[in-house]
Amino acid sequence: MAQYRVRPTRLLLFVSLYLVAACGGVTKNSAMAAAEPKDRYARVKIKGTPAKNGMFDVSVEYGPDGTGWLAYSQVQIPKFINTHIAKSTDHGATWRHVTQVGESRESVLTRNGKRIHGVWRDETACLLYDPTDQPKRRWKLFTNHYFTAKPFKPKDRQMSHGTIDIKYSANPAGPWSPPECVVGHGDDCKISMRKADRSLSKIRTNTEPGAVVSDGLIYLSLDAATTDSGLGDWKNYRVILLSSADHAKTWDYVGTLLDHNDAKHYGYLVFTGTSLTKVNGELYLLATPSGSTKKKNRGHDGTMVFKFADISKGKLVTNRQGHPKIMMRLLPSVGSGGLADYDEQNTEGGVIFSQTRIWWFPQVFRIFQTGKGITEEH
């Protein structure tokens, strides 16, 4: 759950708003006293889900029976972020909590001979239905499993020790298989960034998976960073694409979808938090621009939708300047927001996306729906 903010004397840094709240920056009384603007989007309220500090990082996927499934990160300040799944039988009009998959846990990481106390998190889920795999493996769940040390500030994340994991199930309600490493630096992982392509030799961190099935192949988009925490060295921060022709058993590197130069063209430092979707047979990439160099909002600044010219080659439709062409723009209505997903069967909910606002404390993180698809005017 990457978040950005600019400080006057430095370049852009990650900031977690929930840490501000946890450190006493906001009290319940001050939040209640703040004037709350009316949101033009409808808040998604999931029946039966623990409230805690809210929900973020959505992934929506429908099965062949028309049932919708929503995976999301549930935040509990300041330590824990877990993956939960909800269900809709009315095309996104209402959602009900079904299960938790994976769990944050306190642990100790040994690095350079030192014992580091902290928490393993399981977040930024991506849910995928793979119709031609074995029945017990047709539902796939990708998550980012990583370690963060006390006192749980952004710089304390040891994300280079983390992995992008996959679990399998015949039904999103579970049970789910034990996790397997898709992307990481261990010998048991299905692909290593450093070995996949020469251009990725300095990549240390991957996060924010997004997935889609097309022509029998699984495509997986990922944030890729060169630092242990995922912070800094923005000029080398990028969004990459992987593919699998054997139902996620093995993976190949396809190419870079978005990089710092693309973000800079639109007035930002990076693109992050991508998802992949198919609408009327056409493939789209949803991405969140972050770290505005021109606007007041320095955090996640909504969602930009790009169209694939050829996903098998990692090629997006471009504008005259050679940068990916924006097909649709979804702006946050309050605070900072983005990290969206869409399924064309989600006709009652439309695009679902995340927003965060400090005055919403204690539920700082919330998810919303637009009621419209990505090819409709918002």
- Residue-wise pLDDT for 188-211, tens only, equals 999 998 889 999 999 999 999 999
Does the pLDDT value for residue 345 go beyond 60? yes
Q: Is residue 376 part of a domain?
A: no
Phi, psi of 164 (to 5 degrees): -95, 115
Average pLDDT for residues 95-107, to the nearest whole number?
91
Reported pTM: 0.89
Higher pLDDT, 344 or 110: 344
**Three-state secondary structure string covering 36-69:** CCCCCCEECCEECCCCCCEEEEEEEEECCCCCEE
The predicted pLDDT at position 59 comes to 98
Which residue type sits at 356? T
Inter-residue contact 172 to 86 (CB < 8 Å) = no
Rounded-to-integer distance, Cα 274 and Cα 231, Å: 17
Does the pLDDT value for residue 107 go beyond 60? yes
Does the pLDDT value for residue 291 go beyond 50? yes
Q: Is residue 11 part of a domain?
A: yes
Inter-residue contact 363 to 17 (CB < 8 Å) = no
The predicted pLDDT at position 39 comes to 58
C-alpha of 317 from chain center? 22
Helix, strand, coil % over all residues of the chain, rounded to 5: 10, 50, 40
Per DSSP, what are the bridge partners of residue 305?
A: 286, 328
The boundaries of the domain holding residue 110 are: 4-258+338-369
Higher pLDDT, 296 or 12: 296
Classify residue 177 by burial, with Cβ atoms within 10 Å: 0-12, 13-18, 19+: middle
The predicted pLDDT at position 219 comes to 98
Closest CA to 330 of 321, 322, 319, 341: 341
Average pLDDT for residues 342-367, to the nearest whole number?
93
Rounded-to-integer distance, Cα 352 and Cα 340, Å: 6
Q: Is residue 190 part of a domain?
A: yes
The predicted pLDDT at position 6 comes to 31
The predicted pLDDT at position 100 comes to 95
| Structure confidence by residue, pLDDT tens digits, 132-142 | 999 999 999 99
| Structure confidence by residue, pLDDT tens digits, 218-267 | 999 999 999 998 888 999 999 999 999 999 999 999 999 999 999 999 99
- In the chain, the number of structural domains is 1
DSSP string, 109-151: EEETTEEEEEEEEEEEEEEEE-TTS-GGGSEEEEEEEEEEETT
| Structure confidence by residue, pLDDT tens digits, 52-91 | 899 999 999 999 999 999 999 999 988 899 999 999 999 9
Q: Is residue 231 part of a domain?
A: yes
Rounded-to-integer distance, Cα 32 and Cα 87, Å: 31
Rounded-to-integer distance, Cα 185 and Cα 182, Å: 10
The b-or-e profile of 124-163 (16+ CB within 10 A means b, else e) is bbbbbbbeebeeebbbbbbbbbbbbbeebbbeebbbbbbb
Inter-residue contact 87 to 65 (CB < 8 Å) = no
CATH number for the domain spanning 88: value is 2.120.10
Average pLDDT of the chain to the nearest whole number? 87
Reading across the β-sheet that carries 42-43, which strands appear in turn? Answer: 42-43, 365-369, 352-356, 336-341
Higher pLDDT, 334 or 128: 128
Q: Is residue 85 part of a domain?
A: yes
Inter-residue contact 147 to 180 (CB < 8 Å) = no
Rounded-to-integer distance, Cα 25 and Cα 259, Å: 34
The predicted pLDDT at position 293 comes to 87
| Three-class SS state of 239 | strand
The predicted pLDDT at position 4 comes to 39
Q: Is residue 292 part of a domain?
A: no
Q: Is residue 288 part of a domain?
A: no
